[in-house]
Amino acid sequence: MIVMKFGGTSVQDKAAICRVIEAVAKHQDRKPIIVLSAMAGATNGLLRIGDFAYQGKRAEAEAISGQLRDHHLTVAEQLLTGPRLEKAQAFISQCFSEIANIIQGLYLLGECSSRTKDALAAFGERLSTSVFTEALLERGYQSALVDSRELIRTDNSFTQAVVLQDISFPLLRQRLTPLLDAGKIPVLQGFIGSTSDGITTTIGRGGSDYTASLVGAAVNADEIQIWTDVPGILTTDPRIVPKVYKIKTISFAEASELAYFGAKVLHPSTLLPAVTRNIPVQVCNSFAIDKPGTFISAKGVSSKTPIKAIACKKGITIINIYSTRMFLAHGFLLRIFEAFEKYRTVVDVVSTSEVNVSLTIDSTARLEQILEELRKFADVEVEHDAAVICAVGEDVRNTPGVAGRIFSAVSSINVRMISQGASRINVTFLVGGNRMEEAVRALHNEFFQAPDPATFEPC
């Protein structure tokens, strides 16, 4: 059993879907379970429909809806014929008439709740999987469309719902095992789930990777494959550095750090379920289906190039906390973290000095309340628009001079904060958001002029 997840660009049009079918056919004897994202641009489009509609811009909302409907209909017409085409057309029309009703409702109400956002966003995956399943059937593959909302049970934190694994895993097994035993290829939507009341939820942007990994863990798959539009995990974001390398093998720990600190190729939660069951993950290129991608597994691979990759993320807020009264006093750190806990805000990077504690957050939704809490016992300063940069590699641990090379490479840039995790496989630091690209290029240049060919491959 394997799980094959295909992202938005991998299912964006007829050509892409045909490549996906070829990839699935190649792995047919490994009992694949397919998890799909929405077609590229669909989720953003659906969310924009919601925004325009509640802001009274009905024509704009309807225009996007029309474009999305036409695109899905075109892809269906190109892939399907006869009753299968009719079935897909009927489903697409039904979805867009429901979307028209939502537009009307939002327009009248003048607001869009997170719950409605999820209902809208979920159409993307529901549409892509429905067209794709028919396309598989049309080509003679026994496939079965499965509604993830019946199997992925979540809480009701709409747009960021938490998956309840204890309920979802047995449901996934009960539904998927008989299909696989009957020789069928199950096709599921990534990204979506539902509450115990059957209300549609989504598990966070980019969440289809996480769905794939949850499905893999539930059925104890032999491998989880994340198919995307690049050759694998690369030495950094190819949109920042054009000449990047593919990493052949990387450890769970390294890949988790990269995903967490902004490497968009993997949703940050993807590897957790895989690690728990020790299921290998492979990141593959759906545009070159015969080429091996990046293998992620429990065992670390040592390399002559100490850094495996550089991740980065903008829009970070730094909070500097000073307290002469409280510093070093028993319970000071506890009080700080209680403030973040109370407002359910994740702290990413922490660094302390004799007189202050600095930490970073990604979400500023509850910043004001957190600051109010902290100001009860400390002086607080906030810096917005920072960027976090994270250089990751198992060999950072035992190679002297890596930190020296990192900070020499970015010596012309003001570094705001530095941190290294307990596992010492990363060096993380913050710079102003406007200097991020420059810093990443400088670092990449320092470490990847001629990277170890045993670990890296040009792409």
The binding site for Mg ion (CB under 5 A) comprises 7, 206
Residue 312: its H or E element: strand 309-322
Q: Is there binding between residue 195 and ligand ADP (CB under 6 A)?
A: no
Q: Which is nearer to ligand ASP, 270 or 303 (CB)?
A: 270
Query: 310 - beta bridge partners?
Result: 391
Does the protein bind ligand ADP through residue 50 (CB under 6 A)?
no
Asked if 252 is part of the footprint of ligand ASP (rule: CB under 6 A), the reply reads: no
Closest alpha carbon to 358 in 381, 341, 377, 340: 381
- Cβ count near 385 (within 10 Å): 12
Between 234 and 409, CB nearer to ligand ADP = 234
**Among residues 166, 181, 239, 414, the one that binds ligand ADP under rule CB under 6 A:** 239
The dihedral built from the CA positions of residue 43, 44, 45 and 49, taken in this order, carries a sign that is positive
Contacts with ligand ASP, 164-203, as mask; x by CB under 6 A? --------------------------xx------------
Contact string 114-133 vs ligand ASP (x = CB under 6 A):
----------x---------
Does the footprint of ligand ADP cover residue 230 (CB under 6 A)?
Answer: yes
In the complex with ligand ASP, the residue whose CB is nearer, 168 or 323, is: 168
Q: State the residue number with the nearest CB to ligand ASP.
A: 208
- Look up residue 20 and give its amino acid: V
The answer to whether the beta carbons of residues 340 and 374 sit under 8 Å apart is no
Residue 216 in contact with ligand ADP, rule: CB under 6 A = no
Q: Which is nearer to ligand ASP, 6 or 91 (CB)?
A: 6
Choose one: 24-32, 192-200, 225-233, 371-379; the region binding ligand ADP (CB under 6 A). 225-233
Taking a C-beta distance cutoff of 8 angstroms, is the pair 321, 379 a contact?
yes
- Which H/E stretch holds residue 359? strand 356-361
User: How much is the CA Rg of the chain, to the nearest whole Å?
Assistant: 23
Strand 245-247 to strand 456-458: parallel, antiparallel, or no bridges (unpaired)?
A: antiparallel
- Burial-class residue 384 by CB neighbours within 10 Å (0-12, 13-18, 19+): exposed
Of the two residues 9 and 130, which places its CB atom closer to ligand ADP in the complex? 9
Contact call for residues 232 and 245 (beta carbons, < 8 A): no
Cβ proximity to Mg ion: between 271 and 427 the closer is 271
CA distance 71 to 42: 10
User: How many residues does this entry show for the chain?
Assistant: 459
- Quick one: which of 144, 263, 392, 406 contacts ligand ADP (CB under 6 A)? 263
Q: Which of residues 8-27 bind ligand ASP (CB under 6 A)?
A: 8
Question: In whole angstroms, how close is the CB of 246 to Mg ion at the nearest point?
Answer: 17
**Segment near ligand ADP (CB under 6 A), from 195-203, 223-231, 335-343, 369-377?**
223-231
Q: Are 151 and 171 in contact (CB under 8 A)?
A: yes
Contact between 43 and ligand ADP by CB under 6 A: the answer reads no
Residue 289, classed as helix, strand or coil, is: coil
Could you say whether residue 241 binds ligand ASP (CB under 6 A)? Answer: no
Q: Which residues of 29-59 are buried (b: 16+ CB within 10 A; e: fewer)?
A: eebbbbbbbbbbbbbebbbbbbbbbbeeebe
The least CB distance from residue 322 to ligand ASP, in Å, is: 39
**Is 193 one of the binding residues for ligand ADP (CB under 6 A)?**
no
Residue 124, contacted partner among ligand ASP, ligand ADP, Mg ion, none, CB below 5-8 A by kind = ligand ASP
> Which of 449, 443, 445, 447 has the alpha carbon at shortest distance from 413?
443
Contact window for ligand ASP (CB under 6 A) among 35-43, 52-60, 172-180, 320-328: 35-43
Count, residues near ligand ADP per rule CB under 6 A: 19
Nearest CB to ligand ASP, comparing residues 58 and 205: 205
CA distance 142 to 134: 10
Please return the burial class of 452, using the count of CB atoms within 10 Å of its CB with bins 0-12, 13-18 and 19+.
middle
Bridge partners, residue 207, by sequence? none
Question: Which stretch, 137-145, 262-270, 360-368, 373-381, contacts ligand ADP (CB under 6 A)?
Answer: 262-270
* Stretch of 263-271, 338-346, 360-368, 420-428 lying at the interface with ligand ADP (CB under 6 A): 263-271
Cα separation, 195 vs 162, whole angstroms: 10
For ligand ADP, the closer of residues 201 and 294 by Cβ is 294
β-strand 32-36 against 185-189: which pairing, if any?
Answer: parallel
Site residues (CB under 6 A) for ligand ADP?
7-10, 37, 206, 228-230, 233-234, 236-239, 263-265, 309
Site residues (CB under 6 A) for ligand ASP?
7-8, 37-38, 43, 124, 190-191, 205-208
